[in-house]
Amino acid sequence: MSDGKQTDFSELYRTYHPVIFQYVHKRISSLHDAQELTGEIFEAACRYYPCYDRTKSSVATWLYVIANSRLKNYYRKSRVVCVDIDELKGVLRSSENIAESIEAAEALQQMRDVLADSLEKLNERSRRAVVLKYFLNYSAEEIADVLDTTDGNIRVILSRALRQMKNDIALTSAGWEEIIYR
């Protein structure tokens, strides 16, 4: 890689590493796996950076494509359900007895599973928009840049995705509402 390209890539790494890591970590509960996968993403980006064509997509879009490809490979390899231990400890500490804690933890995991299933049913573009908006707090304009569309279109995509998820989840059970508002 030429010195100019190396300097460009160093700047790209400094700018996008925290964002890509956060994106990956929101989708993988294991900090260690998220760090490793982010490293693999930037390793691939470094390898293919000389071939990157700025006229075809923004740098962010290009990195998210690489990240999504690596995430798909990760999911394929590790069909394992992950539970965040810190959240589980918090649930156990906050409840008055173990039975309530276990029940709350199971309900929380069940809610996560339902949300994850609902998110998985969305098409890739809608899923990426929802993750960027509600997990990474991107604005519609930022999401539009990543997905290479207009911010108005992003608002429509998000509205339809949320409506689809709401219909899919259908949280009508009083037991769920009791746990949510506890």
Domain that holds residue 176: 85-180
pLDDT digits (tens, 9 = 90+) for 132-145: 888 888 889 989 98
Q: Are residues 103 and 18 part of one domain?
A: no
Beta carbons of 122 and 164 less than 8 angstroms apart: yes
pLDDT digits (tens, 9 = 90+) for 51-107: 888 888 888 889 998 998 898 888 877 754 455 566 656 655 655 556 666 676 677
Q: Give the residue carrying structure tokens 């494509």.
A: 65
Beta carbons of 161 and 155 less than 8 angstroms apart: no
Q: Are residues 91 and 170 part of one domain?
A: yes
Average pLDDT over residues 118-125: 86
CATH number, domain containing residue 59: 1.10.1740.10
Q: Are residues 61 and 25 part of one domain?
A: yes
Q: Are residues 160 and 129 part of one domain?
A: yes
Last residue of a domain, one of 16, 46, 77: 77
Q: Are residues 15 and 64 part of one domain?
A: yes
